[in-house]
Amino acid sequence: MAYFYDQAAHTFNEYLLVPGYSSSECVPSAVDLTVPLVKYSKSDGPTMTMKIPLVSAIMQSVSNDTMAIALAREGGISFIYSSQSVDNQVAMINRVKDHKAGFVPSDSNLSPDDTLETVMELKEKSGHSTMPVTHDGSSHGKLLGIVTSRDYRPSRTPMDAKVSEFMTPREKLVIASAETTLSEANDIIWDHKLNALPIVDKNDCLLHLVFRKDYDSHKLNPMENLDAHKRYVVGAGINTHDYEDRVGPLLAAGADALCIDSSEGYSEWQLRTLQYVKKEFGEGVKVGAGNVVDREGFRFLVDAGADFVKVGIGGGSICITREQKGIGRGQATSIIEVADERNKYFKETGIYIPICSDGGIVFDYHMTLALAMGADFMMLGRYFARFDESPTAKVTVNGNYMKEYWGEGSARARNWQRYHSGGSDSKLSFEEGVDSYVPYAGPLKDNVALSLSKIRSTMCNCGALSVPELQEKAKLTLISSTSIVEGGAHDVILKDQLGSLPPNFR
């Protein structure tokens, strides 16, 4: 006979936080949202952290290089989706790493025989106004000069004028050698009042550019999540089918962490994947695994070598696994049980395994609930799919701006590797995700800032200034269906609904 749990599984919507004592020091600006990404020992402390507890989902419609850059700028991490060719995924990782390396490869270059017309076309195409001039027009050719918007006036300079006639020549440029550090390059930029500093090798061939705006950008984004080389931190998804071909190139491209993207993590396939990565590339390579919904699944993945564990099955807004297969569990109950087992494991071994809540987040306050219940961070799909930086198209539906959003288990994604447990068939037998739209919400930066302000404010209501303190002090209560109604606007007529009232309304 099947095993029956004696308690119902609950969702975030069925819980509320009960306020605790708040001291005068408990203000939102004092809240620290730093969380660990991967496992660490009690004696050593966290080795890889995030400044905010947000990770974007491993999905075609969410996590590409554009999303990864935007989220890392705010302090989080994206895991570039794996349901694409290895070369394409590696290219995305490279673009993230190159974007904020400090030393940026030039992708807008000219030859001395190009014309002003070419300059204007390249500027329109790339948006860049600083263009190195090399002997062959390549990004690593011998540096002959540079063109900026100060070198020409479209209203006066003929469109057929050659670049060599109006460029700033090499002998008038301030340049730096390949041995120059980023700190030294920034000092040169400030001392000489430059906007860009070319970096050349011993043969005077262009290697990189260092921009003043990158320094300014860092000052405007103090929460940036950077690696040891001042590059944005980025993760990469892998699956349990072609990991032997995928992991090496991803690590070579600079991926800081990996995560197995699978609908169900309590399996031999994940065990094999984890064992392969650790054996071939060492314990220094960090790999998250999942998804699981109970303590047994958590222990299995931890024993297999997982560096963090994703929790949640069937709770995503585009996931229909529960409808199709009857598999899953309420997200809140899953987090509570797995977090309890994580804490027991920590007491037993002195090793802390972060857990990631994946799915079930509908409202911003659900994020705070997930953290209070024991999650270290959240993986979000629908939330990030709404923003400018997601890779999908912005469309108009019934007069409203929307963004396309589809699940990895949908026919559109064709990501059979995520849902297929073995055998030779490389196809989806049935869909476990839908193709949909989400309301367009604008830039990531503004929306994330608003969500985090709500989290910080709620944490202060609980008397907590950090995520560990929230988990220690939080008091949670189950609420009835009537309490849910009571919690929203009720028994009033909202002003924005007046026009929709029937004529005979009293």
**Residues tagged active-site:** 319, 418
Which among 398, 493, 490 has a CA at the least distance from the CA of 501? Answer: 493
Distances in whole angstroms, Cα of residue 218 to Cα of each of 202, 348, 366: 30, 41, 30
Tokens of residue 8, six digits: 């119902």
Q: How far apart are CA 258 and CA 307, in angstroms?
A: 9
Alpha helix ranges (H) inside 235-376:
243-253, 268-281, 295-304, 321-325, 331-349, 364-373
Which residues touch 301 (CB under 8 Å, ≥6 apart)?
265, 266, 270, 274, 289, 290, 292, 309
Cα(506)–Cα(502) distance, rounded to whole angstroms? 9
Q: Which helix (H) or strand (E) holds 395?
A: strand 394-397
Q: How far apart are CA 77 and CA 257, in angstroms?
A: 10
Choose among 230, 210, 247: nearest CA to 90: 247
Q: Coil, strand or helix: which one is 331? A: helix
Q: How far apart are CA 93 and CA 236, in angstroms?
A: 8
Give the separation between CA 273 and CA 289, rounded to whole angstroms: 9
Q: How far apart are CA 120 and CA 113, in angstroms?
A: 14
Phi-psi sector, 127: left (phi>0), alpha (psi -120 to 50), beta: left
How far apart CA 253 and CA 62 sit, in angstroms, is 21
Q: For strands 35-36 and 49-50, give the pairing.
A: antiparallel
d(CA 298, CA 308): 10
Whole-number Cα distances in Å, 295 to 14, 90, 333, 338, 367: 22, 34, 11, 5, 21
Q: Please give the Cα distance from 419 to 431 (Å, whole number).
A: 9
Q: Using DSSP, state whether 164 is helix, strand or coil.
A: helix
Using CA atoms, how far apart are residues 265 and 250, in angstroms rounded to an integer? Answer: 21
- CB of 223 within 8 A of CB of 4? no
- Cα angle 96, 73, 415 (rounded to 5 degrees) comes to 50
CA distance 329 to 250: 33
